[in-house]
Structure 1
Amino acid sequence: MEDLTQEEWVEQLATDENAVVLDVRTDAEVADGIIQNAVHLDFYKGQEFVNNIEALDKSKNYYVYCRSGNRSGQACKLMEQLGFENAYNLEGGMLAWTGDVVSLKS
């Protein structure tokens, strides 16, 4: 697991053809907007979250974020324990994010 600043995250993501962006916020938080092409898995779903993480392709590179960087850091540590080699946590999460987001509100 590695913590990345927004600048490092954006730069690394731009050149990573094996990348998956993972949003671990709640449904209510995601309703305010999500980073383009992110996969949403709610961290607070407990065992369901763990099962969903275990089903992911371990050969991919995961860029994980939440609201503040705390849950995504925990998710990255969990992923590491489950055998994922490349999980990157967005420092500061969405609170610090200044990039584009896609609104899910209709």
Structure 2
Amino acid sequence: MKDLTQNQWNEQIKADKDAVILDVRTDEEVAEGYIPGAKQLDIYNAGAFMEKANLMDKSKNYYVYCRSGSRSAQACMILESIGFDTTYNLLGGFSEWEGDKTV
């Protein structure tokens, strides 16, 4: 896992043809807005999180965020523990996100 600032996140995603944006917040949080193109995988629903994570392409690069950056860091560690090579955590999470949003 590597922590990325917003600027690093934006620059890296634009250049990454294997980028997957992963939102690990709850349905209620996602309803308030999300980063365009993100796939939701609620980390609080541990069973579903693990089940869906195991179906994802482990060769892709995962850019993970939550509200503040804490749950997404945890999600990155979990993903890496089950064989994902490349995960990035958005520092500050969605609460500090200044880029494009879908509301």
Same topology, TM > 0.5? yes
Match status 1:41 vs 2:41:
yes
| Percent pairwise identity | 54
- Matched letter for residue 17 of structure 1: K
* Structure 1 gap ranges (5+): none
Provide the residue aligned with 1:58 in structure 2: 58
2:77 counterpart residue number: 77
**How does the TM-score come out when normalised to structure 1?**
0.95
Q: Normalization by structure 2: what TM-score?
A: 0.98
For the aligned residue pairs, the C-alpha RMSD in angstroms reads: 0.6
Aligned to 2:27: 27
| Structure 2 spans left out of the alignment, 5+ residues | none
- The alignment covers a number of residue pairs equal to 103
Please state how far the C-alpha of 1:74 moved relative to its aligned partner: 0.2
Aligned letter for 2:8?
E
Name the counterpart of 2:99.
Answer: 99
1:49-80: per-residue Cα shift (whole Å, max 9, x none)? Answer: 11111110001000000000000000000011
Which of structure 1's runs of 4+ aligned residues deviate more than 2 A?
Answer: none
Corresponding residue number in structure 1 for 2:15: 15
What is the aligned partner in structure 1 of residue 4 from structure 2? 4
Q: Distance in 1 between matches of 2:51 and 2:2?
A: 22
Q: By how many angstroms is 1:48 displaced?
A: 1.2
